[in-house]
Structure formats: structure tokens, C-alpha cells
Chain A
Amino acid sequence: MALKVLTVDDSKTIRMIVKKAFQSYSCEVYEAENGVEGLAAATKEKPGLIILDITMPVMNGIETLDRLKADADLKNIPVIMLTAESGKDNVVNIVKKGVKDYMVKPFKGEDLIERVRKIVPLEARGEEESSETKVARYFSQVDDVVVLTLPAKVTRPVTVEVESGLAAKIKDMGAAQLKKMVLDMSGVSETNVLLIKLIITIFQGCQKAGIAVKLVAGAKQAEELKGFQETSQVAVANSIEEAKASF
């Protein structure tokens, strides 16, 4: 079973670095932005390891650690403190509170993994998901309409997967004489430049192949799309059904 790791840090950057450090191992990494969210996530997920920052808004790492240790269900979860504060009093204080180890920032991902290995066993991740399987999860079909569903976070790897999968899917659609696609971005949590570029690429690719595309987005997303010159004129449907009906 994959090890559940909870990283609690107000810095998204640090959470990403921690996540990246574990990506070669059979781990599920959960994220929380502060102590309150961290305690809630720990209660829900019962992680096998918590990596905890000290200086955070809402609830800092020291208070979070106190509450973890006071909770019968959570007190045995090993905690590694990851902090920019290496003062002796600080370190003595957190060690007394029962942390398994601490790391001082700046740090490298591999150093973190080395520390973790001393506390919990880490298994290398098994065979990687094939690229075909990765791409297939974005596409589905409803009647004669192919639906391309974007994930919550559109990152560079996602855009690469979608773009490469799109080329193959367009080819398949040509062979099956399918001429309609719905691009569903209603589950995307953040409208960023990568997303806009991806939408344009999808529209252009389909247009070139003679495939009609309709975009599905939430009301807030539709407003955000208007803020980008490239997507300001794109018609938006509220649901896949509405998009299908508009072909």
C-alpha cells in the first residue's frame, strides 16, 4: 500500500518540492496550507508521515505539533519539521515535543528522502502508467461527441499529455467519422496562461481537422476567459448537454 505523506506548509513552492521528492516512490502526497488544514487532513487521511513547517499563518507548526501529540489517534504519526529556523532553542523545543527529525531550509529533495528513509520504509514506484493510459483518461465519448475533460490543475506535463493525445484522437475521430468535440474545463481550478494556450491549441487542431468544438465552463471561468484576448470571443456552454445541443 502506498505511504500517505502529508506536507503542511504555507508555501506552495515547498509543497511542490516535497511532492517532487516523493514522486519516484510509492507514496500519496497530501497538501495543507496551515496547521488547521493540516490537522483536518491528518484526521481524515491518517498519513504515515507528516512534514511540517513552523512559520505559517492561521496555526503555526509548533501549535499543530502540540495538537497532533495531544490526539490519541494522531500522536504516533511520525513528524519531520521542515523549517528555516535552526536556532538551538527552537530545535530543542521541537525535539522535546516528540518530532522524529528536523530539516533546515534550504534543503534538497534527496536529503529529505534520506531523512524519511530512516523513519519509514519507502518503496520505489512500480511500473509507470503507460503514456496511452495517461492520455486516455482525458477523453471519453457521449453518443457521437468526443469529450475532452481537463483536470483541476493544468500544468505543463498535462498540456504535453493532452496535446500529444489530441493528435492521436483527431486521427481516430477522422477514421470513425466523428466531427464533434466538447472541451470540458468546468473542473479546472485555476485559469492560467497554460490553460489559455491549451484551449487555443485544441481549437486550432480541431478546426484544421474539420472538427467542431464547443467549450464547457463554469460562470466564473467564463468571466475569466473573457479577460484573455485569445479567449474573449469564445462561446461557453454551462454543461456538456448544453454544448451537445448547440452543435
Chain B
Amino acid sequence: MGIDSGEPNSSEKEFYMTGIQNVDLRGFVTHSIASVFETMLSMNLTAEDPPQRENVTTGNHVVGTVGFAGAVMGNVNVFVSRDFAREMTAAMLGMSVDDIGSDEEVHDVIGEVCNMVGGNLKSKLCDAGLTCSLSIPSITFGNSFRVESKGWDRHELLGFRNSHNSALIEIYVKNAT
């Protein structure tokens, strides 16, 4: 196992010094979500800029959320339509969409995707000295609801596209001190 010294490198030191405002959150999360989709779902994502919120939140959709708290606090929300969530589930479990037994499987997959993206971001923050802990994922689903967080120091909305499906990732971050 190759483990480095644990000392922050120069960019991480800068990260720590400048706090969360100058961190390339968008770049990091874009890389992270693309890696999750490619490795776990064999799906390629492309950036959708500007993000098309209505493509995802019109009709039935699923939102996975993980939070982190400590020296820095935040949320990562992953939004996908219910249809895309089912396609993602089939891809991750190696089955056809028709073979998905229940919404429980779909919610577990969205929660796990969210956990991976949130976990990677949390690790990046911890490596930069912003120690925090990750929550277990939660799922919200339905066809007429809005997820909002208030009072954050930084908010990012990123859009992604795979074939005919869109996904949104929303990140809220706040310094604890």
C-alpha cells in the first residue's frame, strides 16, 4: 500500500489558507461525478452548462443528499429524474430496468452515488486541514418539491448530461468559524 506522509501539499496549504472561497469545487466535483459514473455505471457524463434544472425537476425525480460537518459544513445534493435513477440502478446492478424490483433499490443506488461524491469531497476538505465528518445519505423523492439550503458561504450548481438524461449536483459549503 502506498501511503504518503499525510502532510498537505502546496495547493492544499493554499486551500487551507484561503478557505473555501478559492477552492476549485466545480472542477473537483466534476471529476468526481464523472469517475463515479464511468467506474460504477459505465456511463459517460458531459457537462451541461448552464445547468437545466427543469430537465430534472419537472415530473418525478429523486434527490440524494449527504452532509458534512466539522471545520467546514456543507451539503451535496444529487438530482436525477426517476427514469434516469432507474437507468442508473440497472447499470450499477447489471440488470435491465424492467428487472428492478422496488424503489428501495433505486434509492440505495442514488444514495451510494451521493455518498461517493460527498465522500470524495469530504476527503479533499480533510486533506486540506478542514476536518469534517460525513453523514449517511438521505433520499427525497416525488414530483412536486423543492430542496433549498440557506445561509451558506458558497453555493455551486453543476449540470451533467448522459445521452437524453440530465443530472444536477448542488453543493453548499460554509466555514464553521
Contacts and interface: CB of A to CB of B under 8 A. Distances in A.
A14 B36 CA distance: 13
Given A10-B136, A88-B4, A95-B3, A156 B95 contact: yes
A12 B101 contact: no
Interface in B97-132: 99, 101-102, 104-105, 108-109, 111-112, 115-116, 118-120, 122-124, 126-127, 131
A121 to B, nearest CB: 20
B134 A92 contact: no
A219 B76 CA distance: 42
A106 B39 contact: yes
Contacts of A91: 3
Interface string A64-101: 00000000000000000001111111111001000001
Contact of A87 (B93, B96, B112, B122): B122
Interface in B131-156: 131, 134-136
Contacts of B30: none
B116 A84 contact: yes
B120 A84 contact: yes
A13 interface: yes
B121 to A, nearest CB: 10
B40 A190 contact: no
Given A10-B136, A89-B131, A155 B3 contact: no
A106 B115 contact: no
A16 B105 CA distance: 11
B27 interface: no
A45 to B, nearest CB: 24
Contacts, number: 95
Contacts of A55: 115, 119, 134-136
B50 interface: no
B93 A105 contact: no
Nearest to A92: B6
Contact size class for B? 35 or more
B69 interface: no
A102 B35 CA distance: 18
B46 to A, nearest CB: 18
A196 to B, nearest CB: 10
Given A87-B127, A106-B40, A192-B102, A13 B93 contact: yes
A226 interface: no
A13 B93 CA distance: 7
Given A12-B104, A106-B40, 4 more contacts: A10-B136, A13-B109, A84-B120, A156-B95
Please name the 10 residue pairs, one residue from A and one from B, whose CB atoms are nearest each other, closest first. A84-B119, A87-B123, A87-B126, A106-B39, A192-B101, A156-B99, A88-B6, A86-B123, A106-B40, A84-B116
22 contacts: A11-B112, A12-B104, A13-B92, A16-B93, A17-B92, A55-B115, A55-B119, A55-B135, A56-B136, A84-B118, A84-B134, A85-B119, A85-B123, A85-B126, A88-B127, A90-B126, A92-B6, A95-B1, A105-B36, A106-B35, A106-B39, A155-B101
Interface of B: 1, 3-4, 6, 35-36, 39-40, 89, 92-96, 99, 101-102, 104-105, 108-109, 111-112, 115-116, 118-120, 122-124, 126-127, 131, 134-136
